[in-house]
Homo-oligomer: A and B are copies of this chain.
Amino acid sequence: MKEQKSKCPGKQSLYFGNGVYVRGLGSVAGKLEGEGPLGKYFDIVQEDAMFGGATWEEAESNLQRMAVDRAIADAGLEKTDIRFIAGGDLLGQLIATTFGIEKMDIPLLGLYGACSTMGESLLAASVFVDGGFGGNMIAMTSSHFAGAEKQFRFPLAYGNQRPMAATWTVTGSGAVVLSSRQTNYPIRVTSATMGRVVDYGVKDSMNMGACMAPAACDTIYRYMEDFKASPEEFDRIITGDLGVVGREILVAMLREKGYDIEKNYMDCGIEIFDPKQGTDSGGSGCGCSAITLTGYILRQIAQGTWKKVLFVPTGALLSTVSFNEGNSVPGIAHAIAFEYCGAGQ
């Protein structure tokens, strides 16, 4: 299917006219995520928080490899059929990804977009597939609660108190095989908007929702403007991990800019845990939107329950160094539009 629409509409968007399709899905979650409202949707729920590894970082690498293996099998493919992997994680220098995929022998485009990485990897992989640079490509990411706490906040053993605005880093990994031909799933990646770094000067690293909401607003607004679209066209507009605090900010900000998303708005961070699970403001981490997408959202589209979804994972761009040096926490968000495309085109 070739179309003559512009491939770069508006200011910062992309249209995939050559056809980019979802071919395989993998979602692997930790125990707490498995006990949450979306638990039954995940391909694999692992009771062992170490995922057979000796360290938290190795645990995340193993988790990631399980998700990638699952997506490849789901696509009916072998490792050798996958041309490239686009992916990354939250850890410094992407060590979960490096050690996670090194045994797979698949070339790696290493990405960092904090918790927006599922969006960033889908966007990049779609550009490769649409451009004819490989029939099958994987977009993936992961996060692990213990590894993230150790890196960004405090080691678990420290037992520190968590403020109510804090989110809970999801232990999970999601992987998607994207393909130039429609096969297993009636799902097409139609378009995307690449996000800018948006900095409102928020300095509270325990309130990621407030840091990221302006970036989500910027990207959703830009998508709507670039494609002359309206929120009502989408069955769902789904952010990554704004949580209950960021949600209110985003809805209010977009309303001020003339777009009302409240009716069809959803946030993966809010869906993934039940407040009774003690996870405060909701789930976060690259894995949060990744497993919600691969386990739940794309299956709703595959069944035709939802016909059109705008998926907007959000990332908080900080390190302990930048934070301790008194810097703000800027955000970034990338938007990816998925469409149900029936039994073949």
Task: List the B side residues contacting A98 at CB < 8 Å.
Answer: 197, 317, 322, 330
Interface set, chain A 136-166, CB cutoff 8 A to B: 151
A111 at interface, CB cutoff 8 A? yes
- Cα distance, A193 to B108, chains bound together (Å): 11
Evaluate whether A8 and B83 lie within 8 angstroms (CB atoms) in the complex, with A108-B196, A111-B111, A127-B127 already known. Answer: yes
Task: Determine if A317 and B92 form an interchain contact, defined as CB atoms under 8 angstroms apart.
Answer: no
Establish whether residues B195 and A102, one from each chain, have CB atoms under 8 Å apart when the complex forms.
no
A residues 105-149 in Cβ contact with B at 8 Å: 105-114, 120, 123-124, 127-128, 130-135
Please, how many angstroms separate the alpha-carbon atoms of A95 and B318 in the complex?
Answer: 7
Residues of B within 8 A of A83 (CB): 8, 12
State the CA gap A174–B132 with chains docked (Å). Answer: 29
A7 and B196 contacting across the interface, CB-CB below 8 Å: no
Which B residues are CB-close (under 8 A) to A107?
12, 193-196
| Chain B residues with CB under 8 A of A88 | 112
Q: Are B108 and A111 in contact (CB under 8 A)?
A: no
Within the oligomer, what is the number of copies of this chain? Answer: 2
Whether the Cβ atoms of A197 and B102 lie closer than 8 Å is yes
Q: Does A213 contact B (CB under 8 A)?
A: no
Q: Cβ of A319 < 8 Å from any Cβ of B? A: yes
Verify B194–A8 contact, CB threshold 8 A: no
> Are B111 and A109 neighbours in the complex by a CB distance under 8 Å?
yes
Given contacts A98-B317, A107-B196, A110-B111, contact A133 B92 (CB under 8 A): no
For A95, give its contact among B123, B128, B321, B332 (CB under 8 Å).
B321
Q: CA–CA, A57 to B322, complex, Å?
A: 8
Asked whether B109 lies within 8 Å of A317 as measured between CB atoms, the reply is no
Q: Is A99 an interface residue when CB atoms closer than 8 A count as contact?
A: yes
Residues in B with CB closer than 8 Å to A325 are: 55, 57-58
**Bound Cα distance from A91 to B8, whole angstroms:** 31
Residue of B nearest to A88 (CB): B112
Evaluate contact between A133 and B318: CB separation under 8 angstroms.
no
Q: Residue on B with the closest CB to A95?
A: B322
Task: Verify B318–A195 contact, CB threshold 8 A.
Answer: no
**Cβ–Cβ contact A321 & B127, under 8 A:** no
Provide 27 A-B residue pairs closer than 8 Å at the C-beta atoms, listed in order of the A residue: A7-B131, A8-B135, A14-B133, A55-B325, A57-B321, A57-B322, A91-B321, A92-B320, A92-B321, A93-B114, A93-B318, A95-B321, A95-B327, A98-B197, A99-B322, A99-B327, A102-B196, A102-B197, A102-B198, A105-B196, A107-B194, A107-B196, A109-B123, A110-B113, A110-B332, A127-B127, A127-B131
Q: Which 8 A-B pairs have the closest CB atoms?
A: A131-B131, A92-B92, A107-B194, A102-B197, A93-B319, A98-B317, A7-B132, A95-B322
